[in-house]
Structure 1
């Protein structure tokens, strides 16, 4: 497995581990992953940065990193790897690092002290990301390649299931494993297989939605629900056929569907946006386009949106307006952009992560978002303070499957397994 791919899976596993309490068997993954998450949030992509202790602590809070128990170890690990410098006052200096560089460094930190059990957990998801695979075949592959005895192998699978590192469905008398990356590659072929497994009525519904998303780039969850109905929509979300992106604050949330393959045209979609930063950037921009109002600095149309991105990529600042200080808090906390106060409630923004903005521009100009979006402005214009990525939203649905028999997706996975 290449370093970038391994780094992306480490980040994936770490986000899952942050949701559970017992993680002792995956400590090297969790440490390396949190180092990667912090490194990403500290660094700009093309210039050296220095952040004071208060900013570092705020970023740690946003990443769910314990400032007393975890942050000192993470900072020391990054310092030992010659990735950051720490002053006596606690300020941190860091050279420019792209997302690709973050993933590579994450992998290198992990491999300093990892064991076969944890390496096997990464391959477990990597091997099942292309298509669903039967339990017997996957267990044999992992056990043989990582020299795990039967007891240890069973323990790995059980813990991976409990944590959510890997997902499964029980059908044909056995478990079939899969994960949320199924539709990031070969999506046309896999979509055709899904349609072949559905009733003619459901297949038409999915085809109608697929055409709409391909044409318009994204649709609101309300539109998707009208077309599909709740049961069919939940099934498709369960197997990650569509990405469910959510922007929210303390007053409301807005969810819209995009295709995982939107990013596949411009590289490896799993690696290039492993941290979901490009998706968050696009989500915030679309929010500004469809929900914001003119008096606070509304993005008027797609031409203005792309011109804004190009201006940022030229190194120029954008603004000032009120919306910049409110709608891009997620991007500010993740150091994708930097805000500069203008006057009153108005702010400018400058770009810090050029690689992320370039992916966002490519997807908007050349990908499935190139046409006008169908996002409706059905909510009041207030600040976007949170972004929830597709995998977290998918897993919320999967956790409900034990109480919702209708969410069994075995018939969909069976067609893709062959």
Structure 2
């Protein structure tokens, strides 16, 4: 398994663990948090980050500044990825691919149990093709030298946490699979729903697919208007569409993309590794379709993105201070206050390239993708999560705590 793929699985599993009270996968949890912080603080160029900014970025990534951050910083220093200083740290310039590689290295070099290696192995194996629980137990037992009783417990616990998915296919057998693969390959479920579409519903689906192929991303409201709410709900349930949410002081805004727009070029963990690019696409689509002209509505997306990708700064505009908070909290962009307005600089050019390619062509298959972003963003709801929650049009103001975090990240606590 490639190191960057392994690192992506560790970060994926680390996020799953954070949603539980489980303590059995401490090695994965530790390495995953190291990777999450490294992704948040690193960019294409070497950057200096104040201690105040560092604490804010840690909180934004569910890392305790007092209990966990000092240990993580010590590890990143040991890996020679940061240089400590008085009141600040110097972070080496790293691509997202390098962040994933370093995450895998941290996991390998830290103390952990063999069953933690086993769940990573099984996650990748079940992404190639679904595997029965009997074969899965045999695989990880032989490869990682763990008793079959422990392998069974590992399989059950990993499935409960969400490292991989399982489905009962007979009274004595379960199927272990990757969620992305399930959406593409579970012919029985998908076929039943698609075959039940009326001629008019099938035509509406064709229209939506053509629009997504052309534009890359559409508002959820526009898709539902074409398909109707019930039909969209059925198609969403089998993974035919991905729904992402971005939020700001005006409320929540939902956007639809096709899974294939992000996953054609890779055979594993595309949903998780590309969440940053998905968030950027959703934010850009918000800027082009929802935001008003007077707030700084995006007019020339290609010119704007090319300037950001080439290291330039865009703005000033009011909208920049609101629309990109999710990306800001993950270190994808840097928002700079400017006389009551805001300017923005892109810290992870590869994320911008992926986002622009999706906007331009509807997918990134034609792009030369070698560097995958590897962390989820705060205040961005990913497609995996939106499949599990009821979508509402309620307005939710930005919390004071979030405002304070953003202020610390933008100013380093100097204002």
Settle same-fold status: TM greater than 0.5: yes
The within-5 A match list for 1:240-255 is 240-249=239-248, 252-255=251-254
Match of 1:94 in 2: 91
**Which is further off, 56-65 or 216-225?**
216-225
Aligned-pair CA distance for 1:338: 1.4
Structure 1: 5+ residue runs without aligned partners? 371-383, 398-418
Aligned-pair CA distance for 1:227: 6.5
**Which is further off, 200-209 or 325-334?**
200-209
Instruction: Measure the CA separation in 2 of the matches of 1:44 and 1:321.
Output: 23
Instruction: Give deviations 1:212-236, integer Å, cap 9, x for gaps.
Output: 1343333444455566677775565
Out of 348, 358, 381, the position equivalent to 2:353 is 358
CA 114–229 in structure 1, closer or farther in 2 if over 3 Å, else same: farther
1:15 aligns with 2:15: yes
Match of 1:332 in 2: 328
Out of 104, 107, 120, the position equivalent to 1:107 is 104
Q: Is the 8 A contact 1:195 1:206 kept in 2?
A: no
Q: Is the 8 A contact 1:183 1:261 kept in 2?
A: no
Instruction: Measure the CA separation in 1 of the matches of 2:75 and 2:100.
Output: 15
Aligned-pair CA distance for 1:119: 0.7
Aligned-pair CA distance for 1:275: 5.7
The within-5 A match list for 1:23-102 is 24-45=23-44, 47-89=45-87, 91-102=88-99
Instruction: Measure the CA separation in 2 of the matches of 1:195 and 1:30.
Output: 34
Match of 2:399 in 1: none
Instruction: Measure the CA separation in 1 of the matches of 2:196 and 2:180.
Output: 27
The within-5 A match list for 1:263-278 is 263-265=262-264, 270=269, 274=273, 276-278=275-277
Out of 153, 156, 164, the position equivalent to 2:154 is 156
Number of residue pairs matched? 373
Instruction: Measure the CA separation in 2 of the matches of 1:149 and 1:142.
Output: 9
Q: Is the 8 A contact 1:332 1:339 kept in 2?
A: yes
Match of 2:400 in 1: none
Give the structure-2-normalised TM-score. Answer: 0.81
CA 227–285 in structure 1, closer or farther in 2 if over 3 Å, else same: closer
Instruction: Give deviations 1:279-318, integer Å, cap 9, x for gaps.
Output: 1111111111111101111113xxx112210111122211
Match of 1:283 in 2: 282
Instruction: Measure the CA separation in 2 of the matches of 1:122 and 1:239.
Output: 25
Instruction: Measure the CA separation in 1 of the matches of 2:131 and 2:229.
Output: 27
**Which is further off, 208-217 or 333-342?**
208-217
Q: Is the 8 A contact 2:190 2:238 kept in 1?
A: no
Match of 2:178 in 1: 179
Match of 1:321 in 2: 317
Structure 2: 5+ residue runs without aligned partners? 366-376, 391-415
